[in-house]
Amino acid sequence: MAKHIFVTGGVVSSLGKGLTSAAIGLILERRGFTVSLQKLDPYINVDPGTMSPYQHGEVYVTDDGAETDLDLGHYERYTHARLSQSSNFTSGKIYSSVIAKERRGDYLGRTVQVIPHITDAIKEAIHQGAVDDVDVAITEIGGTVGDIESLPFLEAVRQFALDKERGEVMFLHVTLLPYLRASGEMKTKPTQQSVGKLREIGIQPDVLVCRTEQPMTTEMAQKISLFCNVRCEEVIEERDVAFSIYEVPVDLCRAGLDRLIIKKLGLPNPEAETNLSDWNEMLQELKEIKTECEIAVVGKYIKLHDAYKSIYESLAHAGYANRVKVKLRKISAEEVLVQGTSILEGVDGILIPGGFGERGLEGKIQAIRYARENEIPFFGICLGMQCAVIEYSRNQLGLAGAHTLEHSAHSPHPVISLMADQEDVDEKGGTMRLGAYPCTLRKGTLSHKLYGEEHISERHRHRFEFNNDYRARFEASGMVLAGINPESDLVEIVELPEHPFYVGVQFHPEFKSRPLQPHPIFKGFVGAALNHSLGGNNSGAPKVESLA
Ligand code: GLN
């Protein structure tokens, strides 16, 4: 039976609970334990798939097609936990399952209430998240303690702990020690109050992880200990990282969190060192990298870093693999129309991420044309690939008015069309082509060389696709359809072999990149950008000799 760690947050949101949870997962794996990770989100949306990235950041997609919170991206980048539909529950998802049961008559005769029906459903969800007989199941509770909507979740985990033996469940509260610049001091009061709120609900945290800008002194830890009813050594500092988010697990171990967790949960070998040698080596090498290349990310939600979180992380992983620091030039696609492509001058690579809606679309298309004509490495993801197909149609194939049916119902050349199985879909939530699908790579293409294999699997989230009616015209013109779904015959990858690096993919490779296992296309793209920055005129990626 799994032991459980519940991670709550106090004082403010955006404290990095997701990163902390992921880091704990990594630490436990490095001590030989298996983990699962799960996020409970108090909002009413059934999943974040219907929210704007500006509301919520990116929507992270699992292999089994769950549209989830971006914290699950951290979980997968840090650990080997197998994430699925059961790894992210919202209030909306919990309530809709309870209401469906009520309509079916499962509760006949009874009044359906938050306690016990909603809390029972939450407890069931926690059991579902702890898959594969893992040693430790980590559950992060979104929101901030004290919010009205997170109450049922906190009540449910309190009850959950009651059903377990002591030492089988641990509560870790991530909190903030704000620094007041004017008086030059850090304050513990908000932490005291948020722990007070937790204790009112009946949860006594076992460990406090204190987010700070400045070092936490022993006196402060003692004060927190006294007011919050935790031992001094159970007050752990998690200071802002200076350099990379991948420092978090290292810092937490340095602060003693690893041993504390092992002891609290009664797991074996509490005195052993956590083996983070490769992780430390990576951080050390990252610090020493001096070479830089600059990559433009031209998107619609550019003001919010979280909107393209996994893409930025994947670029960083690929940077490490190529021993180059990737500088980002974040460009709003609409600005390309206002300022012209001069806004892109000097960049070594251009990446167009996925997206929805018409705003910025023509700016993305212009940026792609600039990359194609000026031989700047180009990487298009999902909508980015669709824009590449439109650009190429209009400017190389002479298909005036070529467009996507998503935005132009009457285009004379709908080179991007609606997938057949989407035609009768009316509801927006959870109805896209979602999750992992196989793709066969054409031998001899750049993608085939980058992956080093013929059969791959990648995750999707879209409704529109390359229109196969135009396939012959593309192939005759020199654009290579490098990856095809073997079952549905959908085009998943386009390439221009004459270009130093030009790859558009219908899927989302950014969901599968990890710091020490960069995604092959990202690695190739950043390699090509590095080569561009050094004045090279080929991709640095393996050259395509002949197409099979
Ligand atoms: N809007 C496009 C589609 O639905 C692309 C989606 C995406 O980029 N994730 O096909």
The one catalytic residue among 382, 462, 495, 519: 382
Whole-angstrom distance, CA of residue 544 vs CA of residue 375 = 16
Written as six digits, the tokens of 410 are 């009457």
Binding site membership of 174 for ligand 1 (Cβ less than 6 Å): no
CA of 464 to the centre of ligand 1 (A): 6
Whole-angstrom distance, CA of residue 514 vs CA of residue 12 = 29
Residues 524-537 have a mean pLDDT of 91
pLDDT of residue 243: 86
Whole-angstrom distance, CA of residue 461 vs CA of residue 495 = 21
pLDDT tens digits along 132-143: 799 999 999 999
CA distances from 428 to 47, 268, 356, 436, 463 (A): 11, 48, 13, 20, 11
Which residue type, as a one-letter code, is found at position 289?
A: I
pLDDT tens digits along 278-314: 999 999 999 999 999 999 999 999 999 999 999 999 9
Q: What angle separates helix 257-264 from helix 17-30, to the nearest 10 degrees?
A: 70
What three-state secondary structure class fits 429?
Answer: coil
Eight-class DSSP state of 505: E
Residues 220-238 have a mean pLDDT of 95
Q: Ligand 1, atom 5: nearest CA belongs to which residue? A: 383
pLDDT of residue 403: 97
Whole-angstrom distance, CA of residue 308 vs CA of residue 429 = 21
CA of 521 to the centre of ligand 1 (A): 19
pLDDT of residue 537: 54
Written as six digits, the tokens of 373 are 């004509």
Q: Largest Cα–Cα distance in the chain? A: 76
Whole-angstrom distance, CA of residue 419 vs CA of residue 429 = 17
pLDDT of residue 548: 37
pLDDT tens digits along 400-458: 999 999 999 999 999 999 999 999 998 899 999 999 999 999 999 999 999 999 999 99
Element (H, E) at 19: helix 17-30
pLDDT tens digits along 257-278: 999 999 999 999 988 999 999 9
Gyration radius of the chain's alpha carbons: 25
Output the CA angle 125-126-132, nearest 5 degrees.
Answer: 105
pLDDT of residue 543: 42
pLDDT of residue 131: 82
pLDDT tier at 547, thresholds 50, 70, 90 = very low
Distance from chain centroid for Cα 424:
30
Q: Which region holds residue 375: left if phi is over 0, alpha if psi is between -120 and 50, else beta?
A: left
Residues 99-114 have a mean pLDDT of 96
* Summary mean pLDDT of the chain: 94
How long, in residues, is the chain? 548
Percent of the chain with pLDDT over 70: 98
Binding site membership of 461 for ligand 1 (Cβ less than 6 Å): yes
pLDDT of residue 242: 82
Mutate which of 359, 365, 462 for ligand 1 pocket (most atoms within 8 A of beta carbon):
462
Q: Please indicate whether residue 448 is annotated as part of the active site.
A: no
pLDDT tier at 1, thresholds 50, 70, 90 = confident
pLDDT of residue 544: 41
Binding site membership of 308 for ligand 1 (Cβ less than 6 Å): no
pLDDT of residue 99: 98
In 353-505, DSSP assigns E strands to: 378-381, 402-404, 413-418, 433-441, 455-462, 464-466, 480-484, 491-495, 502-505
Q: What is the pTM of this model?
A: 0.94
Give strand pairing partners of 484.
Answer: 440, 491
pLDDT tens digits along 41-60: 999 999 999 998 888 899 99
Mutate which of 383, 434, 505 for ligand 1 pocket (most atoms within 8 A of beta carbon):
383
With a cut of 70, say whether residue 546 has pLDDT above it: no
Output the CA angle 141-18-8, nearest 5 degrees.
Answer: 30
pLDDT tens digits along 4-17: 999 999 988 889 99
Q: Please indicate whether residue 508 is annotated as part of the active site.
A: yes
Q: Please indicate whether residue 382 is annotated as part of the active site.
A: yes
Binding site membership of 49 for ligand 1 (Cβ less than 6 Å): no
